[in-house]
Structure 1
Amino acid sequence: MRTLVRPSNRCTGIISFIRTMKIGLRIGETGGPDGYSAPLPRFGIYRMAKKSMKKAASGTKLGSLVKDSITGFTGIAIGRTEFGFGCVHIRIQAPGLTEAGTPIPVQTFDDQRVEVLAPPSKLWAEPVETPVKLGDVVRDSLTGVVGVATGKTVGLDGQINLFVEQVGLTADGEPKSPLYINAASVVVVDRRELKVSKDSVATSGGPMPREIVPLSAPH
């Protein structure tokens, strides 16, 4: 099950997010018995636009009552995802149930289109510490999967989950599915910095519209 992601001026395309709170362990392609078997490319520095940096520094406080300025979708901000190329997404849980008696599906919107209606009504956990920086090459200690950390999600419980993209292609010539791994499960293999294409005209960007395979439950 996945939530819908609304595109914005910074985030082109649509990506799939994980909305169920308890997901079984799934292992993606590793490319070798040790989780990686091809050389990793080098990465140059990425310079984010000043406006995007300011927004990322302040951001939408988790636990706030928020509203999407385009669709009007309203609820509590339960998660914040920062991607290495300047895109920030807010996950919103609306109160109440559907006609079928199930929770309303969590929706994800770009931070720049989310309006804060009211501050948090209670104190939530502070984000846990993690040595991982976006752009680092990391290895999942449970599965051995190795890839580049391209996104970081923080939840109301303070837990941090990482989007990890594996280098290389599948046997069919397609990019391997990004993985979603709890930060406590990974170790840093190499310190790297993300590189932005010299042909790009965007001051910031968003994630590729590819399906994400969970290795742990999102928060």
Structure 2
Amino acid sequence: MLPGDILLVTGENKLSSSLIKAQKILYSNASSSHVEFSLGDGIFIHSTNDKGVHLALLVDEDEACNQNWRVIRHKSITESCSDTERLQEAAMYFYAQDYNKAFMGSGNDNSSFCSELVAKAYARAGIEIIEAKSPSKVTPAHFDKEADNLEDWVDVTNEYKKILVSMKENDFLYRTAMSTMSAIMTRRKAHEPIRQKMIEIFENGSIENKELAKQMREMLSKRQLKYWYEKEDK
């Protein structure tokens, strides 16, 4: 399970069926209604209409879609590849965005639909996929085509099915890891407005406070993980 792997899901409900049918115009063999981005260790980040961009476990997704899924991995990604960490950070950047309801629209910086999120993560990591198509124009069908052709990707579904057995046997450990990661990222987003307000107050204060504000901004700018809602500190 490597960061950057893509889970292609065939949903069971009527909405999923309608979405798949609508995508046939883009790719006649379209079969996926949803895609998710692996962060590693069975944890995926994805965007849904009801929750926006959030985390999910493979064991839950497996049950939700009645085992109708497959996973592909970009050929540039290997166990020892430095791109995996960059891909993980790139995807986490979009955590807690709203769901972009303008499917295949012009796109924006504050929301993403499922396949748009995956495309944005790869673009942010500097890895070209889907012929460098604009993320807001990328659909699950585009990944279906990649998964069927396997020119730039490899199918690693069997690898995930084997690991899924272990995940089910150690459900508590995997679920705790995901919950902890989600809680940390959620807390950071909640605290961000408070941090910025505090810095702004210091910046309008005494010389000593202005220097403190400068130091705080410098410290924040050096954080390795970045998020879309954070002010860019130079």
TM-score by length of 2: 0.25
Q: Hey, which of these two has a bigger chunk of strand by percent? A: 1
Choose between structure 1 and 2 for higher RCO, CA contacts under 8 A separated by at least 6 residues.
Answer: 1
Q: TM-score normalised to the size of structure 1?
A: 0.27
Higher helix share: 2
